[in-house]
Amino acid sequence: MKNILITGCSSGLGREAAIALANRGHFVYATTHTKEQANKLNILNRKWHLPLYSFKLDVTSQNDRKKVDIINIDVLINNAAIGDSGSVCEIDVNKYRSVFETNVFCTIELTQRVLNNMINKKEGRIIFLSSLSGKSPIPFLSPYCATKFALEAIGESLNKELQVLKDIHIPVILIEPGAYATGFNEKNISKQFPLMHIKSYFKNYVKKLQLKQYAYFKLIESTNINSIIKEYIEAVEDENPKERYLAPSIQSKYIKLKITLSKLIYS
């Protein structure tokens, strides 16, 4: 049994991963953005009787991040994330700042606090939720994609840095989900269009862009999340973990092929 803290468990993959890991006997701190979300999860767990406890941990709150200082955490899963959308040529830069604040900067700050205890006890495991879009960007979703590109670099760098410390065993792992039908992608896509309807270089193309982007995700999104939840479990439990865990396999293979072809074409 491991003590696992997961951020962003109010819904989606974080919530399902927390339940799955608790079902396997791990004690899971399933943290949420608000107290109401945490209370709802705790009430549900009165029926499930799982080794799971939920509390508010807004990663952007310094006071909330301090809560991890008194918890014995074996595995940290940085799952919380937000997104936004729009064209790079006109989107408000503050939207980039907001997404980076949650997905990158505050995630680093939380990780540093947890690492302090892990390094003292000489073991632990850090997991970052990246994305396949952190390897192959999607037009008009760059605020989100850019943060996942950043986590790719941060996770890989941290993994190699911790290997320098003698007698310390803290692997750093990246989980790279593809597109799943959780509603997250559609919510992000919708954020760009109110501005585009009013004033945008793309004003005359709004309807076409809406149809294309929603159709794209409807086509590729997987409705079965079991494949990615399996990757969460393996990332936590594998004795010799891989640096990256990817799913669904068909999407990850497509991205690998796309990247390979791009290198061949432009080399």
Instruction: State the catalytic residues.
Output: 144
Residue 66 contacts by C-beta under 8 Å, 6 or more apart in sequence?
113
Could you give the strand order of the β-sheet that contains 3-6, starting from the edge strand earlier in sequence?
52-53, 27-30, 3-6, 75-78, 125-129, 172-177, 244-247
Listed residue (160, 171, 23, 150) closest to 81, CA to CA: 150
The 3-state DSSP class for residue 28 equals strand
Please list the residues that pair with 259 across neighbouring strands: none
Do the beta carbons of residue 69 and residue 47 sit within 8 Å? no
φ/ψ of 57, rounded to 5, equals -140, 90
> Rounded distance, CA 50 to CA 28, Å?
9
> Rounded distance, CA 7 to CA 18, Å?
9
> Rounded distance, CA 132 to CA 249, Å?
11
> Rounded distance, CA 204 to CA 224, Å?
36
